[in-house]
Every structure is written in C-alpha cells, then in structure tokens.
Amino acid sequence: MTQDLRCEEVIEKLLEYLDRELDAEMEQALARHMDTCRACFSRAEFERRLRARVREASEVKAPESLRRRVRAMVARF
C-alpha cells in the first residue's frame, strides 16, 4: 500500500491525477490526501476549473472583426 503522501508529492503528481494517468493505488492515495488537506484540494479544484475554462474558450469562435484584424496584422509581416 502507498504510504501517506506529502503535499509536495501530491502537487508533483496532480496533473497526472487529473488526466487519470496514475495507477489505481496512487490515484487513491492522492484522493485520500486531498480529502484531508485543504491546500491540495484547493489546488486541484483550481486546476480543474482552469482546464474547464480553457476547454470552453476553445469552443468559442472569434468575432469576425477580430479575425480580420489578425489577418491584416499577419499580412503585414
């Protein structure tokens, strides 16, 4: 069984945890730690929300006026 993790270890593995790239034992160890550590839980929630915002932003099409300005800027170079 995985021993109790320190916050540094949780933060180091957090992105892999959120991407579900860890084995079940390590995933459970991180989840247990975050159940009792407010700082690590908050960091994980921040990362989850940030990822959700990035996903949402990538689904929004830029306004045509912005697209024209960007094309004009690129054409100058």
What are 11-46's pLDDT values in tens digits? 999 999 999 999 999 999 999 999 999 999 999 999
Domains of the chain: 7-76 (1.10.10)
Average pLDDT over residues 3-13: 93
pTM above 0.75, yes or no: no
- What's the whole-number average pLDDT of the chain? 92
Burial class (CB in 10 A: 0-12, 13-18, 19+), 9: middle
How many helices (H) and strands (E) would you count in the chain?
A: 4, 0
Question: How much is the average pLDDT of 50-74?
Answer: 90
Token pair 């929300």: residue: 49
Structure-token match 């094309």, residue found: 71
Residue 2 above 60 pLDDT?
no
